[in-house]
């Protein structure tokens, strides 16, 4: 997956770089933008739920150990508001819902429960993500702009393990919201093509929760109609959080990588 993502990123940048410059029909910024994406997502999820007495639980890979599919096709929706020449607000929503069942091959601890060998273990796992960004653009030219700002990612992670008559509900929403610093660069190629690249990062430790996250985006868009564009985007996000708080004790490592085709409506 990463090999294909890198190849697609190179193709996007190279394709835009060789396009001739001309009178542009596409703008660097539009006041209102609605983007609808169909995303082919690849996931890597590792979770550990410790007991209330802080005994370390089993560290489980949901894809390798519990049989969750690592590839999903999901919808993604985003909105951007350029409320002034140098100021932008953006919101992105994504919801991933998966389930699986497997047989336990060795005794494992999940929270305060011990799951014995040969138990049929069911897993329901849902991640709902809201990413909210503010960006300030101090550098704006005719064909490119660059800026920086801050954002916050709110992740509601709900995990339910089912073993015969036992149910363990692990709500991981304590892992968020986590703020981050973001950077963005956008450029117009030719008269109908626009490239955007962004990166967000932060490493924090607050109230017994410590972790880090990365958010990366790269897209190339064609201005097909006056108010409608079509594009290809690459998105990468990762979160690594460990908590010993009252609500959740354990660890979550989550990687979400996707290739998206999208439609952008703007006015």
Q: What are phi and psi of 172, to 5 degrees?
A: -95, 20
pLDDT per residue as tens digits for the range 52-103? 776 787 788 888 888 888 888 899 999 999 999 999 999 999 898 888 888 8
Could you tell me the two tokens for 48?
């550990």
Structure tokens at 10: 């190179």
Tokens of 149: 């700002």
Beta bridge partners of 171: 158
Q: Is the peptide bond before 22 cis (omega within 30 degrees of 0)?
A: no
How many Å apart are CA 143 and CA 140, to the nearest integer?
8
- pLDDT more than 70, % of the chain: 81
pLDDT tens-digit series, residues 43-64 = 898 988 787 776 787 788 888 8
In the DSSP assignment, the letter for residue 106 is: S
What's the confidence (pLDDT) of residue 241? Answer: 77
Q: Closest by alpha carbon to 62, among 113, 112, 94, 96? A: 96
Name the residue among 217, 206, 203, 205 with its Cα closest to residue 256. 217
Domains of the chain: 2-266 (2.40.128.90)
pLDDT of the residue at 205:
60
CA 75, 36, 198, 151 torsion-angle sign: negative
């Amino acid at each position: 997956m990463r090999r294909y993502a890198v190849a697609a990123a190179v193709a996007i940048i190279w394709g835009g770089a060789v396009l001739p410059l001309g009178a542009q029909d596409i703008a660097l910024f539009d006041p209102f933008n609605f983007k609808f994406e169909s995303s082919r997502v690849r996931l890597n999820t590792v979770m550990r739920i410790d007991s209330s007495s802080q005994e370390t639980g089993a560290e489980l890979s949901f894809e390798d150990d519990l049989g969750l599919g690592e590839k999903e096709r999901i919808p993604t929706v985003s909105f951007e508001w350029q409320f002034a020449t140098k100021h932008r607000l953006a919101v992105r929503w994504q919801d991933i819902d998966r389930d699986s069942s497997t047989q336990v091959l060795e005794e494992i601890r999940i929270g305060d429960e011990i799951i014995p060998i040969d138990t049929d273990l069911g897993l329901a796992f849902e991640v709902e993500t809201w990413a909210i960004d503010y960006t300030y653009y101090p550098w704006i030219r005719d064909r490119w702009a660059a800026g920086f700002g801050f954002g916050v990612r709110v992740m509601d992670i709900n995990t339910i393990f089912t073993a015969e008559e036992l149910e363990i509900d692990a709500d991981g929403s304590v892992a968020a919201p986590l703020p981050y610093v973001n950077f963005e660069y956008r450029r117009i190629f030719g008269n109908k093509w626009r490239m955007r690249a962004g990166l967000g990062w932060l490493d924090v430790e607050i109230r017994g929760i410590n972790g880090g996250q990365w958010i990366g985006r790269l897209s190339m868009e064609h201005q097909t109609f006056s108010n409608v564009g079509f594009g290809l985007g690459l998105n990468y996000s990762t979160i690594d959080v460990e908590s010993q708080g009252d609500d959740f004790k354990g660890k979550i490592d989550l990687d979400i990588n996707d290739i998206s085709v999208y439609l952008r409506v703007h006015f």
